[in-house]
Structure 1
Amino acid sequence: MGERLDDDRAQEWLLSRAQRHRLSPTQRQIVQRMLGMFPDVAFLSTIEIAEQTGVSQPTVTRLATALGFAGFPEFRTAMREAVLASVPDQRVPASEKQDAIDQEQANVGTLKRVVSGAPMTAAVTALSGSDPLGVVGLRASAALADYFGYFARRVLPSVRVCTDGASLDDDLLQLRHQGASAALFFSMPRYPSGTVAAIRLARRLGMTTVVIADTALLPFADDVDALLVAPVGTGLVFDSHAAGVVLAITLLDAVAAVHPQRTQQRLEAHESLVDRWTHDT
Structure 2
Amino acid sequence: MQAHIGRRLQQHFPELGPQERRVADFILAHLEDLAVYSATDLSRLSGVSKATVTRLFKRLGFDDFKAVKAHARQLRHYGVPLASGSDTLGDGVERFRRHAEREQDNLRQCLEGLTPMLFDEVVRALDEAPAVAVVGYRNSYPVALHLRQQLLQARANVRLLPAPNQSLAEELVELEPGTLIVLIGFRRRPRLFEKLVGALNDREHRVLLIGDPTTAKYADRVTWRLECALETISAFDSYASAMSLVSLLANAMLHRRLAQGRARIGEVTELYQELDELADFSGRL
TM-score, scaled relative to structure 1: 0.62
Secondary structure, aligned partner of 2:150: helix
Cα deviation for residue 183 of structure 1 reads 0.7
Contact 2:206 2:223 in 1 (8 A): yes
Cα distance in 2 between the residues matched to 1:217 and 1:211:
8
Q: In structure 2, what is the equivalent of residue 227 of structure 1?
A: 225
Matching residue of 1:57: none
CA distance in 2, matches of 1:121, 1:224: 17
Alignment match, 2:172 = 172
Aligned with 1:210: secondary structure? Answer: strand
Structure 1 counterpart of 2:148: 149
Alignment of 1:31-50 (within 5 A): none
SS at match of 1:186: strand
Task: Mark the structure with the bigger radius of gyration.
Answer: 2
SS of structure 1 residue aligned to 2:225 = strand
Tell me the equivalent position of 1:188.
186
Deviation at 1:119, TM superposition (A): 2.9
Distance 1:37 1:123, change over 3 A: farther
* CA RMSD across the alignment: 3.1
> Does the CA-based 8 Å contact 2:187-2:214 persist in structure 1?
no
The alpha-carbon distance between structure 1 residues 264 and 234, as it changes in their structure 2 partners (threshold 3 A), is same
SS in 2 for 1:249: helix
Cα 1:51/1:168, change in 2 over 3 Å: same
> Quick one: percent identity of the two aligned structures?
18
Q: Which amino acid is 1:220 matched to?
A: Y
Q: Are the counterparts in 1 of residues 36 and 69 from structure 2 also a CA contact under 8 Å?
A: no
> Cα gap change, 1:133/1:217 in structure 2, threshold over 3 Å: closer, same or farther?
closer
Structure 2 unaligned spans of 5+: 1-32, 39-63, 72-90
Q: What is the CA–CA distance in structure 2 between the aligned matches of 1:156 and 1:214, rounded to whole Å?
A: 27
Contact 1:136 1:161 in 2 (8 A): yes
Alignment length (residue pairs): 204
Name 2:45's counterpart in structure 1.
none
What's 1:104 paired with?
103
Counterpart AA for 1:159? V
Of 253, 266, 269, which residue of structure 1 is paired with 2:267? 269
* Aligned counterparts of 2:170 and 2:233: Cα–Cα separation in 1: 37
* Aligned partner of 2:244 among 227, 234, 246: 246
Contact kept? 1:233, 1:242, Cα under 8 Å:
no
Shift in Å at residue 50 of structure 1? 6.4
Q: How far 1:198 sits from its partner (Å)?
A: 1.9
